[in-house]
Amino acid sequence: MVNVVGARPNFMKIAPIIRAMEARCDEISQSLVHTGQHYDEMMSESFFRDLDIPAPEINLNTGSGSHAEQTAAVMLSFEPVLRQMRPDWVFVTGDVNSTLASALVAGKMKINVAHVEAGLRSFDWTMPEELNRVLTDRISELLFTPSPEADENLLREGIEPHRIVRVGNVMIDTLYHQLESAGRSEILETLALEPRSFAVVTLHRPASVDEPATLQNLFSALAEIGRELPVVFPAHPRTQARMREFGIQPVKEVRVIDPLGYLDFLKLWSNSRLVLTDSGGLQEETTTLAIPCLTLRDNTERPITIIQGTNHLVGLERERIVTIARKVLRGEFENKGSRPELWDGHAAERIVDALIERTGNVQPQLLNLKAVQ
Contacts with ligand UD1 by CB under 6 A lie at 7-9, 37-40, 43, 64, 70, 95-97, 128-129, 204, 236-238, 241
Within 10 angstroms of residue 123's Cβ, the number of other Cβ atoms is: 10
| In the complex, least distance from residue 127 CB atom to ligand UD1, rounded to whole angstroms | 8
Rounded CA-CA distance 14/193 in Å is 31
CA distances, 9 to each of 5, 237, 333 (Å): 9, 15, 28
Closest of 122, 88, 90, 84 to residue 105, by C-alpha: 90
| In the complex, least distance from residue 128 CB atom to ligand UD1, rounded to whole angstroms | 4
Q: Taking CA 43 as the corner, what is the angle to CA 11 and CA 273, rounded to the nearest 5 degrees?
A: 85
Rounded CA-CA distance 54/49 in Å is 9
| In the complex, least distance from residue 289 CB atom to ligand UD1, rounded to whole angstroms | 20
Please say whether the beta carbons of 262 and 46 come within 8 A.
yes
Q: Which is nearer to ligand UD1, 37 or 169 (CB)?
A: 37
Q: Which is nearer to ligand UD1, 129 or 264 (CB)?
A: 129
Please say whether the beta carbons of 100 and 135 come within 8 A.
yes
| In the complex, least distance from residue 98 CB atom to ligand UD1, rounded to whole angstroms | 7
CA dihedral 55, 239, 101, 154 (to 10 degrees): 110
| In the complex, least distance from residue 15 CB atom to ligand UD1, rounded to whole angstroms | 16
| In the complex, least distance from residue 341 CB atom to ligand UD1, rounded to whole angstroms | 25
**Letter for the amino acid at 369?**
L
Within 10 angstroms of residue 251's Cβ, the number of other Cβ atoms is: 14
**Letter for the amino acid at 356?**
I
Would you call 67 a catalytic residue per the annotation? no
Q: Which is nearer to ligand UD1, 107 or 280 (CB)?
A: 280
Catalytic choice (204, 236, 312, 346) = 204
List the beta bridge partners of residue 166: 145
Q: Which is nearer to ligand UD1, 115 or 236 (CB)?
A: 236
Q: Which is nearer to ligand UD1, 64 or 365 (CB)?
A: 64
Q: Which is nearer to ligand UD1, 13 or 166 (CB)?
A: 13
Beta strands in the chain (DSSP E): 2-5, 31-34, 58-59, 89-93, 112-116, 142-145, 164-166, 199-202, 231-234, 254-257, 274-277, 293-295, 311-313
- Reduced to 3 states (helix: H, G, I; strand: E, B; else coil), residue 117 is coil
Active site residues per annotation: 204
